């Protein structure tokens, strides 16, 4: 399984660092608001890792970090091997994940292979499957990944993409319970653009997002809006 996309320059995906973003193809979720629907649902063209590696070599000293996103990167059997190769080039590595593979997440952290983790917190436990577009979510694995990050062995963030059809005050409060005590949660603005799996979904207003923030501050130390 190879990467299917590359963003050759990003100033947004890893705060304070210039980064290159690699996109993995597969995902075990089908979040209706996902912007990478073509990759997740289709059969996208892959990029050989040798080509990616040569590009990364050519950007040494110009770019600080590599962000591995998706899809869900932890579904790639070669992920650890790829990260080891990337780190040989002295890049920082950030991992974006949905938290469904706590075993690999822990392994990558304990072996010092990643520098930062961004984990999606989709919704309250009761609405997790609907928000992920699947019939069942193993919440034990989600909670285990949350616990692993909250051991604070690595810098991390939790993040939630807000969608009008899936989030309200009650569910946001229940969601806060899942990450109680976390240092930070980013609330991200949903944008209905090309590639979204389900068309016709709506964004949450800034005013409503700020209302959610006030609720969540009862559970986490800091809440920031992203994209608003």
Sign for the pseudo-dihedral over CA of 89, 93, 99, 104: positive
Instruction: Please tell me the predicted confidence (pLDDT) of residue 193.
Output: 83
**In the chain, how long is the greatest CA-to-CA distance?**
49
Which residue do the tokens 């075993």 mark?
103
Q: How far apart are CA 190 and CA 179, in angstroms?
A: 21
- pLDDT tier for residue 226 given thresholds of 50, 70 and 90: very high
Q: Quick one: pLDDT at residue 1?
A: 81
Helices (H), the chain: 37-41, 49-58, 79-87, 102-110, 128-132, 139-149, 169-178, 206-216
Tell me if 13 sits within 8 A of 21, measured CB to CB.
Answer: yes
Cut 0.75: pTM above it: yes
pLDDT in tens, 20-59: 999 998 899 999 999 877 777 777 889 999 999 999 999 9
Q: Is 105 helix (H, G, I), strand (E, B) or coil?
A: helix
Neighbours of 75 (CB within 10 A): 19
């Amino acid at each position: 399984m190879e990467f299917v996309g590359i963003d050759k320059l990003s100033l947004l995906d890893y705060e304070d660092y210039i980064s290159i973003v690699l996109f993995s193809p597969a995902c075990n979720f089908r979040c209706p608001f996902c912007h990478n629907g073509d990759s997740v649902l289709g059969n996208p063209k892959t990029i050989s890792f040798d080509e990616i590696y040569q590009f990364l070599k050519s950007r040494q000293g110009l770019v600080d970090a590599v962000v591995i996103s998706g899809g869900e990167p932890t579904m790639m059997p070669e992920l650890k091997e790829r990260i080891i190769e990337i780190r040989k080039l002295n890049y920082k590595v950030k991992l974006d994940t949905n938290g469904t593979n706590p075993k690999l997440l822990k392994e990558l952290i304990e072996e010092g292979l990643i520098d930062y983790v961004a984990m999606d917190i989709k919704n309250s436990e009761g609405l997790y499957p609907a928000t992920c577009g699947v019939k069942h979510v193993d919440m034990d694995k989600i909670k285990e990944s949350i616990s692993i990050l909250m051991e604070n062995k690595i810098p991390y963030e939790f993040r939630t993409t807000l969608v009008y059809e899936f989030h309200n005050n009650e569910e946001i409060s229940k969601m806060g319970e899942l990450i109680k005590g976390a240092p930070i949660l980013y609330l991200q603005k949903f944008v209905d653009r090309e590639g979204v799996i389900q068309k016709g979904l709506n964004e949450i207003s800034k005013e409503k997002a700020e209302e959610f923030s006030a609720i969540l501050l009862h559970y986490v130390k800091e809440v920031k809006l992203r994209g608003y």
